[in-house]
Amino acid sequence: MSDAQLTVAEIEALRGKLDAALAAELDGAVSLRHELHAAPDLSGAEGPTAAVVAAALGDPDAPQVAGTGRVLRIGPATGPSVAVRGELDALPVTEQTGAAWAAPAGVMHACGHDVHLAALTALGRAARAVELPVAVLAVLQPREETFPSGALDIVGSGVLQAHRVCAVIGVHLQHALPSGTIGAATGPVNAASDELEIAVTGTAGHAGYPHLAVNPVPALCAAVLALQQAASRLTDPTHTVALSVGAVTAGRAANVIPETATALASLRTFDDADRSRLHQALAQIVASTCAGYGCRGELKITLGEPPLVNDPALTTATWPWLGQSGFAVADDFRSCGADDFSYYSQSAPALMLFTGTPDTVTLHHPKFLPPDDMVGEVARAMLAGYLGALTLAG
């Protein structure tokens, strides 16, 4: 980003102008947040949400990317840009917040993406009111909550190179941090996330004649327990690994031995070597445990996001700007959550900031409803990330 060459004093002056312009946009952004929250779209069907946000950002004809996504460039038409990501999709959750602007049954912004989009809109509109040295590229990303990943498709589309993106900023609400605190650690901050499917095959039969059948249910139970131990025995205990089994399915009647039993699990790792070693070891454990029960056990692994790695230089350059906005910086916050923002971190210097919320319920809960103040908090965190990227260039 050598074209920029800004001094810290110049960036401070710019910060003052952007901060004032941002404050003027927040009332409108809160209304937009309510509008988006009331009309959520599921992953892959975010066209209406993208159209509303693009119009609010002043460019209803912004080009589409990765299906229902959009990109909008604000500021200088040429030269480098700093991308700021907002996720478009909601979750298949039935809202229980009781808010006047609650969503209809079945779909809900339970991950705060309504807040992120409203904040990005406020920042984009503020950026239009100020002469920017480096463009902001608002990335309205589809399919954060599902496969195939929208971030991976945006990275693969070449749009980031076309706009000479020199840094990618993401901000996510985080119920595990207190309000007023931003999680901004350097290095890996979110885990790689892979989905495991354990399939056990036995021989069907009558519950009263177990010796004439091979019941896959005890084999699956043993395999599930063996996997729990494997996660703690096969990796260096100073490394973070989480393995959670979330679904178990077998049979439909008490007196019928089924032929098959299956389980679904999620594996979270931070280290590539741990990740590949566990893939091999877990498959072996499933096969051999089930063999001990006379069954065939197979492990299918669907690779998910890689670890999310915050660029150290971009992260530390952003800390002072977060402080200027009154945030406390948690420089050690990591979690085994996963976010496809990690794909950006593999293609450009990237920074994910986690904004603490006063909520007592967790993300993805049907009662998750962060207060409207969070729109301004998220927008100021995005602004700090943009200024951090400018600082690196100076």
Cβ-based nearer residue to Zn ion, 190 or 201: 190
Cβ-based nearer residue to Zn ion, 141 or 181: 141
Q: Are strands 81-87 and 69-74 parallel, antiparallel or unpaired?
A: unpaired
Cβ-based nearer residue to Zn ion, 195 or 298: 195
Please identify, among the stretches 89-97, 108-116, 202-210, 308-316, the one whose residues bind Zn ion according to the rule CB under 5 A. 108-116
Cβ-based nearer residue to Zn ion, 163 or 172: 172
- Least distance in angstroms from the C-beta of 306 to Zn ion: 17
Closest CA to 283 of 268, 272, 267, 270: 267
Judged by CB under 5 A, the chain residues 255 through 284 that form the site for Zn ion are none
- Least distance in angstroms from the C-beta of 125 to Zn ion: 23
Please identify, among the stretches 106-114, 184-192, 215-223, 277-285, the one whose residues bind Zn ion according to the rule CB under 5 A. 106-114
Residue 374 binds Zn ion (CB under 5 A): no
Q: Is residue 157 exposed (0-12), middle (13-18) or buried (19+ Cβ within 10 Å)?
A: middle
- Least distance in angstroms from the C-beta of 349 to Zn ion: 21
Judged by CB under 5 A, the chain residues 117 through 156 that form the site for Zn ion are none
Interatomic CA distance for residues 328 and 331, integer angstroms: 9
Binding-site size, Zn ion (CB under 5 A): 1
Q: Which residues pair with 171 in a beta bridge?
A: 353
Cβ-based nearer residue to Zn ion, 111 or 196: 111
Structure tokens at 149: 């990943």
Whole-angstrom CA distances from 375 to 27, 48, 353 are 10, 21, 14
Please identify, among the stretches 104-112, 188-196, 204-212, 379-387, the one whose residues bind Zn ion according to the rule CB under 5 A. 104-112
Judged by CB under 5 A, the chain residues 226 through 245 that form the site for Zn ion are none
Whole-angstrom CA distances from 111 to 57, 148, 223, 312, 368 are 22, 18, 32, 26, 8
Among 36, 84, 111, 389, binds Zn ion (CB under 5 A): 111
Place of tokens 């937009």: 32
Cβ-based nearer residue to Zn ion, 41 or 271: 41
H-state helical runs in the chain: 8-38, 47-56, 113-128, 150-157, 159-162, 216-233, 272-292, 312-324, 342-345, 373-393
- Least distance in angstroms from the C-beta of 173 to Zn ion: 8
Q: Which residue is nearest to Zn ion (CB)?
A: 111
Give the CA dihedral 152, 156, 159, 164, nearest 10 degrees. Answer: 90
> Where does this chain bind Zn ion (CB under 5 A)?
111
